Amino acid sequence: MHKLFLLLLPLAAAAPMLINAGDYETIPPEHSRVEARLGEQRLKLPAAVELISKSAGGHVMSASIDPEGGEVTATVYGEGKAWNVVMGQDGKIARKAEIPRFPGWPVTGNWTENDSGLKYYDIVLGEGPTPPSSASTVKVHYTGYLTNGHKFDSSVDKGAPFTFPLNGVIAGWTEGVGSMTVGSKRKLVIPYSRAYGVHGRPPIPPKATLIFDVELLEIIG
């Protein structure tokens, strides 16, 4: 059975479990070594934050320094955008990359929000039909993310579209995919109340808002 079909099934068997997104192998360094390495850096974190704010033209929300290499990594907001900025010990910006609001397909403008709380962006509007009912079977390509950008599944990566009945998956998919036309591409932003609820389901954490990039390929029946 397809992995996402198991994942998108109704919530009855849900159990809490957090995504394993951390490093559980590396042994933390001795505090005295970190202290010594930080003390050796010519460009200290407070000065780097000030330089980054001026150079990047925005406000630094968070910043950290690598005690080994001395690089400072910061998240900067300005001019309606966000960036990940890396500055070297020479006080010059080494890398600057824009951080999108949502993972996956880029979107602009305002979302559409249904009364249920489901939000979506229509990226491509296809010219095909809409599924005639919530019992229709459809074929899609999808990629699913958590709000922190973690990709938990993708039919695109597997090279195999996913076929499923609209009434056999989570409510956010029944609603969000069910109103698409064939050939459309849509980014779904699904609140946990329309997904896996308070407890979640492995590998989905509790109270997780889910983001899906979905392309409706075909209505099977």
- Which is catalytic among the residues 153, 190, 204, 219? 153
Inter-residue contact 155 to 162 (CB < 8 Å): yes
157 is catalytic: no
- Which is catalytic among the residues 121, 162, 164, 212? 212
- Which is catalytic among the residues 121, 142, 164, 192? 142
Beta strands in the chain (DSSP E): 59-65, 72-78, 81-87, 93-98, 112-113, 119-124, 137-146, 151-154, 162-165, 185-190, 210-219
Distance spanning both ends of the chain, measured CA to CA: 20
170 is catalytic: yes
Q: How far apart are CA 180 and CA 128, in angstroms?
A: 9
- Which is catalytic among the residues 52, 170, 204, 219? 170
204 is catalytic: no
Q: How far apart are CA 28 and CA 75, in angstroms?
A: 24
- Which is catalytic among the residues 120, 196, 213, 219? 196
102 is catalytic: no
DSSP designation for 117: S
212 is catalytic: yes
* Residue bearing tokens 């305002």: 110
Catalytic positions, written as ranges: 142, 152-153, 170, 196, 212
